[in-house]
């Protein structure tokens, strides 16, 4: 797959002296869904805003579909749709009008049929003549998505798309994103909800303190970084770990009813076989055994902690 966005040595220092981005290097593949994870103030929005032309980079180079975002801004911007984090809308405009306005702004000729279909896809068609100020927060979010898609962009940026959004809309949004992906649109979304990234992303990037800490295929990431936990439930509770087992990295929980063992799936030896043998010899009686894969959240928390 070819790269549709390429970011080289991107730095951004605001006039206040705040270093928002520190030497970011990132290639985004055409047609993928990339989730940028990071805590508040990590630099996610600055990164997106720079690609879209809302923030001037301090140094570095960004190309979109081979075009430089500064020299060839018309080419790059016409390919991009942006759904901002804030619900910024012109309160007195009507739904259909505001989508048509956006389409024109990006240089496309009016196309009533396309806008109407878009409104139907976003379940906004029956609201098309309503003023934006009369819409609920969720509806406004849909309008913003509609505006971003009004000029048929090939790349869609969603900045915190599900912040303050109810479950139903969130599901609808995933459906829309899925449909867009099938039509070949590249989607980049920022979030601090890890489940979101886990659910829909192909790749995950983690940003913290203005640095891109990692960028990985989601499944590789979970496999590579994934620690597993072996949880052994005992028939009778014990007050301390038997001496014969103290050499293993075990912890006791639930009033001595659970023994848990952390192991790394990346390691050549997980240590499970010898541990089981040792448990067998220790005369502990087992009730149940289960294993648990660590979630993206655990991975994320570990990474951010390490970098801090």
Partner 1 sequence: MNIQAVKVIYQHEMMRTWNTIFQSIASPVLSTSLYFIVFGSAIGSRMQSIDGVPYGSFIVPGLVMLTLLTQSIANASFGIFFPKFSGTIYEVMSAPLSHFEILLGYVGAAATKSFIIGGIILATSGFFVDLQILHPVWMISFLILTCISFSLFGFIIGLWADNFEKLQLIPLLVITPLVFLGGSFYSVDMLPAFWQKVTLFNPVVYLISGFRWSFFGISDVSVGMSLAMILLFLAICLAIVAWMFKTGYRLKS
Residues at the site binding partner 1, with contacts judged by CB under 8 A: 14-15, 52-56, 73-78, 80, 82, 84, 86, 88-93, 100-109, 147
Which one, 148 or 299, has the nearer CB to partner 1? 148
Which one, 103 or 142, has the nearer CB to partner 1? 103
How far is 136 from 153, CA to CA, in rounded Å? 26
SS (H, E, C) 57-121: CCEEEEEECCEECCCCHHHHHHCEEEECCCCCCCCCCEHHHHHHHHHHHCCCCCCHHHHHHHHHH
Minimal distance, residue 10 CB to partner 1, in Å: 15
Minimal distance, residue 82 CB to partner 1, in Å: 5
How far is 148 from 84, CA to CA, in rounded Å? 9
Minimal distance, residue 293 CB to partner 1, in Å: 40
Which one, 75 or 116, has the nearer CB to partner 1? 75
Q: Please provide the distance, in angstroms rounded to a whole number, between the alpha carbons at the two ends of the chain.
A: 34
Which one, 84 or 205, has the nearer CB to partner 1? 84
Minimal distance, residue 179 CB to partner 1, in Å: 23
Helices (H) and strands (E) in the chain, counts: 10, 14
Which one, 22 or 228, has the nearer CB to partner 1? 22
How far is 149 from 125, CA to CA, in rounded Å? 15
Minimal distance, residue 258 CB to partner 1, in Å: 51
């Amino acid at each position: 797959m070819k790269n549709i966005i390429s970011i080289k040595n991107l730095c951004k220092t605001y006039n206040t002296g705040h270093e928002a981005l520190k030497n970011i290097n990132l290639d985004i593949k055409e047609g993928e869904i990339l989730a940028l994870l990071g805590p508040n103030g990590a630099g996610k929005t600055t990164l997106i805003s720079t690609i879209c032309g809302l923030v001037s980079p301090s140094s570095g180079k960004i190309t979109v579909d081979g075009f430089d975002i500064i020299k060839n801004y018309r080419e790059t911007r016409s390919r991009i749709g942006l759904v901002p984090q804030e619900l910024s809308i012109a309160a007195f405009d009507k739904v259909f009008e505001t989508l048509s306005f956006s389409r024109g702004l990006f240089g496309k000729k009016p196309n009533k049929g396309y806008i109407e279909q878009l409104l139907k896809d976003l379940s906004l068609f029956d609201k098309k003549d309503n003023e934006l100020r009369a819409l609920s927060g969720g509806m406004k979010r849909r309008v913003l998505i509609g505006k971003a898609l009004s000029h048929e962009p090939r790349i869609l940026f969603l900045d915190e798309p599900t912040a303050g959004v109810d479950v139903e809309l969130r599901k609808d949004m995933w459906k829309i994103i899925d449909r867009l992906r099938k039509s070949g649109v590249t989607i980049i979304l920022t979030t601090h909800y890890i489940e979101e990234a886990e659910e829909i992303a192909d790749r995950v990037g983690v940003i913290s303190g203005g640095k891109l800490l990692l960028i990985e295929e989601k499944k590789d990431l979970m496999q590579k970084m994934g620690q597993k936990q072996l949880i052994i439930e005992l028939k009778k509770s014990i007050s301390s770990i038997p001496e014969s087992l103290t050499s293993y990295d075990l912890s006791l929980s639930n009033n001595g009813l659970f023994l848990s063992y952390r192991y790394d799936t990346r390691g050549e030896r997980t240590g499970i076989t010898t541990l089981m043998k040792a448990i067998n010899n220790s005369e502990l009686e087992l009730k149940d055994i289960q294993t648990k894969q660590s979630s993206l959240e655990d991975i994320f928390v570990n990474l951010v902690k390490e970098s801090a």
